[in-house]
Structure 1
Amino acid sequence: MKVELHGHTSGLSAQAVRSLERLYRRRVPENVLYTPELMRHLLEASALAHRQVGVLVHRSGAVEYVLLGDATKIELPDLGRHRAAEGRFRGLRLVHTHIHGEDLTKDDIVDLVRLRLDLVCALSLSPDGELHKISYAYNVPGVPGESPYRIVGPLPPGPLDLDPGALVRGLEAELARRRRGREVTAKDGRAILVHVASSEDARQARADAEVSMRELVELARTAGVQVVDTETQVRPKLDARYVMGRGKLEDVILRAAELDAEVIVFDRNLSPAQAAAVAKLSDMKVIDRTQLILDIFAQRAESKDGKLQVELAQLKYSLPRLGQKDDSLSRLTGGIGGRGPGETTLEIGRRRARDRVTHLE
């Protein structure tokens, strides 16, 4: 296996790098959250690096990723090759240090929920670098409206009364049972609708948003989407990357997990970069107002000429998104926002898509 350090690796001493790389040699039995050896190694590496250090451990016991954050947070790499199957979690648990003694943070919970990790554990350090307390959290297969996760701790240092393997197997069995029994009320899933406005007049902006959102709700229902919640944010200036602020987007992600929603629909047009950024952070399907409207046209087109016109419109709108380097396109194709005469064409390369546009024109 390739030994690679992920995250904030700049400025590390050679000693710190060697210490971190040795974490890949550790093995963790399925019935414990971490071993004493792994815990000590994480604490020592964190003290050497002066930043958060963590590992993603596979259910097989292998350390799959060694992660470095900064003093307050740790960012996880793209876990595309560890896709969570329907009714299952990701098969990875995150164990990492908190160097300022804090408990599990909102960032930890967002990572747990959006990536469907098996568990997330924080080892909180004391000022002298010793283990001070432990806290962990895991996803629970609740019902819409209930918290989608459970937090345990903080707990004092010592053995944990926890068998992660048995816990996750039980949770996945319950998750699969509830999904089989869940009533399907819309053919294209459950969605949260989002309206973000840029205005200095918050009162007028919210009044305008209410009117626009009512229209978007009707459009979504016409397209076959079950609307489970709506969210409005008024900002002095739109966020260039996420449209809304990252903190607000993380709130939407947690709300989506709580309501078992799979889709975020924006009440505005998104640039290809914005759509990709939101999809990557949320790990959800993300569509905008134009895609929603095109989807409705695609469903209702009957004549050959009408179908060709819809296909042309879909291709022209989706062509820039075919150039994104991440897997956000896979969340855009198929189902809501990517169906109709052009559905299979949306999944081909840019060159063939351009050729098809030229042919249709």
Structure 2
Amino acid sequence: MDTIYGNLQGLKPSQLKQLKRLYHQRLPSDNLTTPEFAQRVAAISTDIQQPLCTYINRRGQVIRVAIGTPTQTKIPPLELPRYGAERLCGIRCIATQLKSETPRESTLTAMAIQRLDALVVLTITGSGMIRRGGGATGYIKETYLAHLLPPSNSQGNNKVDSKLLNWSVSSPMSLDILTKQDFQELVEELEAEFRRQFVAQQVDVDQDRVLIIGLMTEHISPERFEDGLAEIGRLVETAGGEVLGVIQQKRTHPHPQTVVGSGKVEEIALTTQTLAANLVVFDRDLSPAQARNLESQIGVRVVDRTEVILDIFAQRAQSRAGKLQVELAQLEYMLPRLTGRGQAMSRLGGGIGTRGPGETKLETERRSIQRRIARLQQEVNQLQAHRSRLRQRRQQQDVPTVAVVGYTNAGKSTLLNTLTNAEVYTADQLFATLDPTTRRLPIVDSVTGKSSGMLLIDTVGFIHELPPPLVDSFRATLEEVTEADALLHLVDLSHSAWASHIRSVMGILRDMPITPGPILVVFNKIDQVDSDTLALAKEEFPQGVFISASKRLGLETLRQKLVELVHYAIATQ
């Protein structure tokens, strides 16, 4: 491997030859460098008048030669031989600099992002001498040694704080003193401390340690942005992750390659290491290319909001119908991300270099997923037909139906249990219910005194910007909403963003292919709100009903309003 990285423009063939010869050098495993190797690197850097970086593994082999600073030539985390918060990467960097100065913070940041064993910076004199036989001397003025230090106060601290990441930078020293440093002992001591702190942080190895990234653009209000961050945090916790911290950035538009700016990506990478996070979650959807770019620069898995929601749905699905719809949504989400790897991985795209026998693993995987999606689509269609027949039977019995809709965790299942004595699973969690549940509610008309009944249908909760794969895959479930005679829109009044939740739910209902029936807005959890919030809601929604399903407050009023709602719905059909 004789590849020279960086900007090679203007280099002479003889200079390229000297650079490639560095790959044939072998250094002792217990020394940072040797005087001969350091002087040779400095001599080449002086000749080309550019900074030069050489990366060396623990066996003393030169594995990468690059023209530029450590910041410009850093190795992507996913290309490093070993990577993780509990250890160093197994590579040290010998770099040159043209000016006499302490290593810059950007240089040290590059060291930290790569988790280098050590960084040696050689300040060149600008002149020197090549001895007979090829040896160089006099090219190095001074040297610096830098390495990471374990965070002194990271244990038990889940807040994002760049000061947690420490490094040590020596004072200027001579090359002779540098080469006498015991490199092997230094690395062993550092890694032992890193491992000790890493083990102390790992309370549950099966739990994802998550860093959340939020991007505020000009189209998002500060309130909506804060609500969104709180919601993605709740989603992560519902999915079983531990939120270690949140990093925010404000930009006019998302960066097309990485969503956030390059400096913020470096901050994310550093914070990920500092907090020993193994997952980064963005508060918005990512394109396949953005996810790949971010993972290559950060070094851990990067997922978006939709993927977190899909994971929750996968955990919550209990019935065969629910599991079927979740699998379909996951595959439809995954397929474009396979395609997004580009034509370079496909031999079937046509053109020079793409023709040949067989097909790649990517093509095979894509075909398999497409076949599975087709089968699942057929099963979902059958599920739609089955539920349509059930609805027709209910309609023939002339029993009115009311679908209970609302933002996730508004208390829909609790209300159904309270009104009908059902035993639907309830929990203070997002998306606790996936499968629609139908129960009969006995009612008495207050005017005529006649007893009758209606069917209440508990449906899957909505959320702001409901992912399109879920809308498509759960169409059989969502049809329960559009086919109902009327809707009961339940709102969690105790949530600070209740008004935004109403807008989100109404937006989803407006986008449905069939316009739903009349809607009764019901505010839940009034026992948990102050008088000002209650007064504001009553002022904005004078026709609303105010209840507490768990405390059984306002239920009689709700029953009568449901009777009026059903009468109105039937009369206007």
**Alignment TM class, shorter chain as reference:** 0.7 to 0.9
TM-score with structure 1 setting the length: 0.84
Listed one character per residue, the Cα deviations across residues 134-156 of structure 1 (whole Å, up to 9, x for unaligned) are 23332333352563342222413
Listed one character per residue, the Cα deviations across residues 312-333 of structure 1 (whole Å, up to 9, x for unaligned) are 111111222224659xxxxxxx
Code of the aligned partner of 2:12:
S
Listed one character per residue, the Cα deviations across residues 248-301 of structure 1 (whole Å, up to 9, x for unaligned) are 121122222222222211000011111111111111110111011111111111
The alpha carbon displacement at 1:63 in A equals 0.9
Within 5 Å, give how 1:1-361 maps onto structure 2. Answer: 2-69=1-68, 73-76=72-75, 80=79, 82-84=81-83, 87-126=86-125, 130-142=139-151, 143-144=153-154, 147-158=164-175, 159-160=177-178, 162-184=181-203, 187-199=206-218, 205-323=221-339, 349-361=365-377
Code of the aligned partner of 1:57:
I
Q: Distance in 1 between matches of 2:336 and 2:101?
A: 43
Q: Distance in 1 between matches of 2:85 and 2:119?
A: 20
The alpha carbon displacement at 1:32 in A equals 1.6
Q: Which has the larger radius of gyration?
A: 2
Listed one character per residue, the Cα deviations across residues 74-99 of structure 1 (whole Å, up to 9, x for unaligned) are 34367636133784322111111122
Q: Distance in 1 between matches of 2:70 and 2:193?
A: 37
**Is the CA contact 1:73–1:107 (under 8 Å) kept in the aligned structure 2?**
no
- Unpaired stretches in structure 1, ≥5 consecutive residues: 327-345
Q: SS where residue 73 of structure 2 aligns?
A: coil
Code of the aligned partner of 2:291:
A
Q: Summarize the Cα distance change of 1:210–1:360 in structure 2 as closer, same or farther, 3 Å threshold.
A: same
The RMSD of aligned alpha carbons is: 2.8
Q: Equivalent residue for 2:527?
A: none
Q: Equivalent residue for 1:342?
A: none
The alpha carbon displacement at 1:185 in A equals 5.0
Q: SS where residue 244 of structure 1 aligns?
A: coil
**Is the CA contact 1:33–1:164 (under 8 Å) kept in the aligned structure 2?**
yes
**Is the CA contact 1:98–1:122 (under 8 Å) kept in the aligned structure 2?**
yes
Q: Distance in 2 between matches of 1:292 and 1:66?
A: 40
Q: Summarize the Cα distance change of 1:165–1:252 in structure 2 as closer, same or farther, 3 Å threshold.
A: same
Code of the aligned partner of 2:316:
R
Q: SS where residue 164 of structure 2 aligns?
A: coil
Higher normalized contact order (CA 8 Å, seq sep 6+, divided by chain length): 1
Q: SS where residue 318 of structure 2 aligns?
A: coil
**Is the CA contact 1:132–1:156 (under 8 Å) kept in the aligned structure 2?**
no
Deviation larger for 79-88 or 28-37: 79-88
Q: Summarize the Cα distance change of 1:271–1:85 in structure 2 as closer, same or farther, 3 Å threshold.
A: closer
Q: Distance in 1 between matches of 2:251 and 2:78?
A: 32
Q: Summarize the Cα distance change of 1:71–1:128 in structure 2 as closer, same or farther, 3 Å threshold.
A: farther
How many pairs are equivalent?
338
**Is the CA contact 2:209–2:277 (under 8 Å) kept in the aligned structure 1?**
yes
- Unpaired stretches in structure 2, ≥5 consecutive residues: 129-138, 158-162, 343-361, 378-573
Deviation larger for 255-264 or 102-111: 102-111
Q: Distance in 2 between matches of 1:14 and 1:296?
A: 58
**Is the CA contact 2:208–2:279 (under 8 Å) kept in the aligned structure 1?**
yes
